Structure 1
Amino acid sequence: MAEQLPATPAPTLTPAAPTPGPGARAAGLLRACRPKQWLKNLLVLAAPGTAGVLTDPGVLGWTALTFALFCLAASGTYLLNDARDVHRDRLHERKRHRPVAAGTVPVPLAVGTGTALILVSLLAALASGNLPLLAVLLGYLALTTAYTLWLKDITVVDIAAVAGCHVLRAIAGGVVIGVPLTAWFVIVVSLAALLVVAGKREAELRNPGSDGARAALDGYSRSYLVQIRTMASAAMIVTYCLWALEGGADQAPDGFRAASIVPFFVFVLRYHQLVDRGVGEEPEEIALRDRPLQLCLFALVALVGLGIYT
């Protein structure tokens, strides 16, 4: 009698991941636009604010338009960047949860929406008739495109490119209303941007999940990035102090501006402390969550505002 073999169990099939519905896809698309990072676009307030013209309704209108256009343009570039880096992001411990990398937002949808947002921002800037604003916005988009395609993988150049994007935001706030940008302003903004970006790279280097996710990181060491932070913050503090203590030909320095040195200095110290803890990878999260940093910023803005507007 033939030996009866045991029945082979049927293979267990892993169920396919459910296709995201329209609601989940829309929520993912909004998250992929990174609305928290719109905080960076508040830099457009810096030039008109320090020039003392923010109380003018016309200036406020132009500044609000500039902020909105940079939000649209930035979100468009974020979507295109995520679409291009989708395979690399899926290998990253944190970035794999981004909507495009996670599959919540299909790559074609990200590309189409990102392109549409960029075109809307450019057409709106053109329709406004403000050619300086259009020129700066085009420069910003050119720099971000170059960063997405090439510059992000070149050590040192990647830091300069991201810092340059921050500086262009601040410049846009000045050119849109015709405010001359002083050397003090450009130097402080540039050094602050360099400080923030160097801290971001340092935090990425600390994060084990970032290994191999960005080629430029291989060319950095923590000690080198600390040196960049130290040099940038030292030069920035000196420059800010010179501006704050500057008086007219026959005038003493303004008391409020001079007093703003204290929260400015504490703000920089607190930021260094946070970066040393390894939490500088998302600067906007620091700004939204760290109460001591928020208090320093509030005191700084209040004192500078009192010095300029009173």
Structure 2
Amino acid sequence: MRCGPGGPARPRSSGPGRPGRSRRPERSARVIVGLLTSLRPRQWTKNLLVLAGLIFSQSVHRPALVARALAALAIFCLLSGSTYLINDVFDAERDRSHPQKRHRAVASGRVPGPVAAAVGAGLLLAACAAGFALSLRFGLVALAYAVILTSYSAGLKHVVIVDALMIAAGFVLRALAGVVVIDTEFSDWLLLCTILLALFLTFGKRRHELLALEEGAAGHRPILTEYSPQLLDQMIAVVTASTLMAYALYTVAPETQAKLGTARLPLTIPFVLYGIFRYLYLLYRRDLGGDPSEHLLTDRALLVDVALWGGAVIVLLYLAR
């Protein structure tokens, strides 16, 4: 310790500002981690639908088209992630009343709302710009997806039935994007199956939320007051039967068999049957269904079924012709 004219010198104080400065990197790291988790990478499995056009057009052996399809997939991952982030900003207050969603980064306060909104908007614009750089038609589809999902977050999710149709439209645009990016023909059957499957999953999710939240349902998602378990059960029954019938008719349609060069696609119907029935089992007997993407990653039976269906499609379209 140094001594000065006035006596021993006091130890140097870190000052009131120093601890705050030392915590800034920690706070910044928490914000960055919160932003990344808010992009919901585990939900990006939905974007694999972008690759359907590549697979069913029998183009996986063409490197240029594979590269374009993968670029489209990456853009839609960025698009969907940014819309999730923007949706969290709109829903922050209601998410605080949800037993699980209250832990989300924006709802919990780990990421300030203005920061989340700015980052979400920036990523959305960047994704749309990348889409137009890939091709004009793909860019228009990406822009339509951004407009529809942002409109959903801003207010359309509060309109009964329209909320489900908006989510279904997002799935359809994913499938359409995968088709236009490789400039191939869009199948009406693919459109129909995509719409029905999306409605099936959406109505199942609404039913799970309605029963799981009980009296708190209206506070978290006001549109749930417009539904009832009985109404949702009827809707689920309609779209379940319609989805199965549409897929079965797609596999046996003469135009499908002529285009794909195989009449064996009906062999994949049992996998679709099991997958839908398994999801219904999780919904009605396990009280699950609130997050279909999560179930796809965590339910072993469903994961194996989807893998077997995908493997069967690949074999029938590429190896057993």
Common fold: TM-score over 0.5: yes
Per the TM alignment, residue 22 of structure 1 is displaced from its structure 2 partner at its CA by: 2.0
1:295 matches 2:304 = yes
Per the TM alignment, residue 299 of structure 1 is displaced from its structure 2 partner at its CA by: 1.4
- Give the aligned partner of residue 238 of structure 1: 245
Which residue identity lines up with residue 269 of structure 2 in the other structure?
I
Distance 2:182 2:255 in 1: 25
Distance 2:280 2:46 in 1: 19
The answer (yes or no) to whether the contact 1:245–1:254 under 8 Å persists in 2 is no
1:183 matches 2:188 = yes
Matches within 5 A, 1:55-74: 55-74=61-80
**SS in structure 1 opposite 2:250?**
helix
Report the CA distance shift for 1:250/1:279 in structure 2 as closer, same or farther (over 3 A).
closer
Matches within 5 A, 1:1-310: 21-128=27-134, 130-208=135-213, 209-247=216-254, 254=262, 256-276=264-284, 277-310=286-319
Distance 2:276 2:263 in 1: 21
The answer (yes or no) to whether the contact 1:244–1:254 under 8 Å persists in 2 is no
Distance 1:26 1:137 in 2: 26
The answer (yes or no) to whether the contact 1:154–1:215 under 8 Å persists in 2 is no
Distance 2:51 2:256 in 1: 28
Distance 2:205 2:169 in 1: 15
The answer (yes or no) to whether the contact 2:251–2:257 under 8 Å persists in 1 is no
Distance 1:39 1:305 in 2: 18
Per the TM alignment, residue 263 of structure 1 is displaced from its structure 2 partner at its CA by: 1.0
The answer (yes or no) to whether the contact 1:93–1:210 under 8 Å persists in 2 is no
Distance 1:247 1:72 in 2: 38
**SS in structure 1 opposite 2:186?**
coil
Which residue identity lines up with residue 66 of structure 1 in the other structure?
A
How high is the TM-score relative to the length of structure 2?
Answer: 0.86
The answer (yes or no) to whether the contact 2:132–2:140 under 8 Å persists in 1 is no
How high is the TM-score relative to the length of structure 1?
Answer: 0.89
Distance 1:114 1:287 in 2: 26
**SS in structure 2 opposite 1:207?**
helix
More helix, by proportion: 2
Q: Select between 183-192 and 207-216 the one with higher mean Cα deviation.
A: 207-216
**SS in structure 1 opposite 2:173?**
helix
Distance 1:250 1:173 in 2: 21
Per the TM alignment, residue 250 of structure 1 is displaced from its structure 2 partner at its CA by: 10
The answer (yes or no) to whether the contact 2:168–2:198 under 8 Å persists in 1 is yes
Per the TM alignment, residue 211 of structure 1 is displaced from its structure 2 partner at its CA by: 3.8
Per the TM alignment, residue 94 of structure 1 is displaced from its structure 2 partner at its CA by: 1.7
Q: Which runs of 4+ in 1 moved over 3 A?
A: 246-251, 253-256
Distance 1:284 1:84 in 2: 22
Per the TM alignment, residue 29 of structure 1 is displaced from its structure 2 partner at its CA by: 1.1
Report the CA distance shift for 1:198/1:249 in structure 2 as closer, same or farther (over 3 A).
closer
Report the CA distance shift for 1:194/1:250 in structure 2 as closer, same or farther (over 3 A).
closer
Task: Give CA deviations for 1:64-90 in whole Å, capped at 9, x if unaligned.
Answer: 111111111111111111112211211
**SS in structure 2 opposite 1:85?**
helix
Which residue identity lines up with residue 245 of structure 1 in the other structure?
V
Distance 1:197 1:278 in 2: 15
Distance 1:298 1:309 in 2: 16
How many residue pairs get matched? 291
Task: Give CA deviations for 1:228-252 in whole Å, capped at 9, x if unaligned.
Answer: 111112111112112222347998x
The answer (yes or no) to whether the contact 2:207–2:229 under 8 Å persists in 1 is yes
Task: Give CA deviations for 1:249-272 in whole Å, capped at 9, x if unaligned.
Answer: 998x94641211111111111011
Report the CA distance shift for 1:115/1:248 in structure 2 as closer, same or farther (over 3 A).
closer
The answer (yes or no) to whether the contact 2:129–2:139 under 8 Å persists in 1 is no
Q: Select between 21-30 and 187-196 the one with higher mean Cα deviation.
A: 21-30
Report the CA distance shift for 1:131/1:97 in structure 2 as closer, same or farther (over 3 A).
same
**SS in structure 2 opposite 1:212?**
helix
The answer (yes or no) to whether the contact 2:97–2:220 under 8 Å persists in 1 is yes
Distance 1:49 1:86 in 2: 39
Q: Select between 208-217 and 103-112 the one with higher mean Cα deviation.
A: 208-217
Distance 1:304 1:152 in 2: 35
